[in-house]
Amino acid sequence: MELPEKFKSKYKRLLGEEYENFIKSFDEEADHGFRINHLKPKANLQINTKEPIEYVDNGFIGKIDGKSAEHQSGYIYSQEPSAMFVAQVADPKPGEKILDLCAAPGGKSTQLASLMNNQGLLVSNEIDRGRAKILVENIERFGVKNPLILNEDPANLSKHFKKYFDKILIDAPCSGEGMFRKNHDATNYWSEDYPKECATLQREIIKKAVKMLKPGGQIIYSTCTFAPEEDEQIIAWLVDNYNFKILPIEKFKGMSSGRPAWANGNPDLSKTVRLFPHLFRGDGHFVAKLQSLDDGKIGKIKYQRSNVSGNLKKDWEKFNYDNFVNFDPHPLLKFGETLYSFNPEIPDLNGLKVMRPGTPLGQIKKNRIEPAYGLALEINPEHVKNKLNITRDEWKLYVHGDTIPTDSNLEKGWYLLICDGMSIGFGKVVSGTIKNFFPKGLRFKA
């Protein structure tokens, strides 16, 4: 692979003897991986799980088909193997409040959600509107319960969540040197000064993150670049300017320690972790875990309240009675023309750019409700009255937006469509036909 000359001379100087192996690794094929989603009930998945990844209990080496039922239904998530290490390091505990500050397309958010097992609060934020929409699709597909998905600048976010989170993951925008193998065009953005420019942005993001962290909370910082300016030097700056200590991270095969000599010599920097493609099966990452040494109170917050009118509540209760069993999502929120359930720990959403305040339950129509696509992917099928098994060929018709012929004796109404055990969406059965409610913007030819 053609790499910028200044990139090569920089790493020759930094890596010494290791340099040749490092540079050779750029000519090897990029590594692919995927995770199986344990938030969903067991299903008959057609995937190859021969090569498990040691440090992620549901992670595997391999490439998945983005146009498969497994992918559409959120049973699997494609993620580069080194990127899977970060959420493991965050080690979220059920019940914690966690912010994924730079979250799109959602690899780390969906993994955090898995580890949190749908308990606690996950706030996933992405500054870029287009990328935030992809984040929504991926989190929705994954079936995360009551996620708050925002499209905010960290500065505005920090005004709404003062000293609030137990953990904040900053998977920072970076010079992306670890992406070169997968995306050769990324080398075009690279210049000698690019890592320094990225570091300036990273420091700004961290300053805002610190304001949102509870005293005693943790920051997990990661990049997919090798540049010391964005890795060890950022962490050195953080501990020099704020009251944090670097926590040790358990390393697995092929992982190496951060290099104090590449920053200010602080020996604790060796507690950070580098994943180099010449030593480790993955494209490359840097991860650090920091503990706030502050004590004191958490910030005061005005919580979001339910805003559902009496009539809408009645429509919801009828819709719930007709279609679900033992299902009581709450509190409820009308947001736009959609009814959601939301996590009662979220702050008042006024003044925030909200992509999703929680789990979408249904589209509000005049005097009735239609089930939301996102609900089909989140709800346990046990709670749905009418279910219909469809074949993989019928699934192809569904994701293409076609109607599907079915038994003409089937009672009219909403059905959760299930393919090989995977919930894939709702359909409306009317006189021997399943009417298609797969969202228009997501349709594809499988």
Please give the annotated binding residues, written as ranges.
Answer: 102-108, 126, 153, 171
CA-to-CA separations, 148 to 97, 119, 341, 429, in angstroms, rounded: 11, 13, 11, 32
- Is residue 224 part of the annotated active site? The answer reads yes
Instruction: Compute the distance between CA of residue 198 and CA of residue 219 in angstroms, rounded to an integer.
Output: 19
C-beta neighbour count of 82 within 10 angstroms: 28
Annotated binding site for S-adenosyl-L-methionine: 102-108, 126, 153, 171
**Residue ranges in contact with ligand SAM by CB under 6 A:** 83, 102-108, 126-128, 131, 154, 171, 173, 201, 205
Strands 213-223 and 244-247: unpaired
Give whichever of 158 and 272 is closer to ligand SAM, judged by the CB atom: 158
Residues in the chain: 446
What angle (nearest 5°) sits at the alpha carbon of residue 292, between those of residues 291 and 298? 130
Instruction: Compute the distance between CA of residue 364 and CA of residue 371 in angstroms, rounded to an integer.
Output: 9
First-to-last CA distance in the chain? 33
C-beta neighbour count of 9 within 10 angstroms: 12
C-beta neighbour count of 146 within 10 angstroms: 21
Is the sign of the CA dihedral 422, 424, 425, 427 positive or negative?
Answer: negative
Instruction: Compute the distance between CA of residue 140 and CA of residue 375 in angstroms, rounded to an integer.
Output: 8
- Beta strand segments in 207-357, E: 213-223, 244-247, 256-257, 273-275, 285-292, 332-335, 338-342, 354-356
C-beta neighbour count of 153 within 10 angstroms: 13
At position 66, the amino acid (one-letter code) is G
Q: Which residue is listed with tokens 């998977």? A: 171
Instruction: Compute the distance between CA of residue 350 and CA of residue 344 in angstroms, rounded to an integer.
Output: 15
Which residue in the list 174, 198, 224, 419 is annotated as catalytic? 224
- Beta strand segments in 91-156, E: 97-100, 121-125, 148-150
CB of residue 35 to ligand SAM, shortest distance in Å: 12
Report the catalytic residues. 224
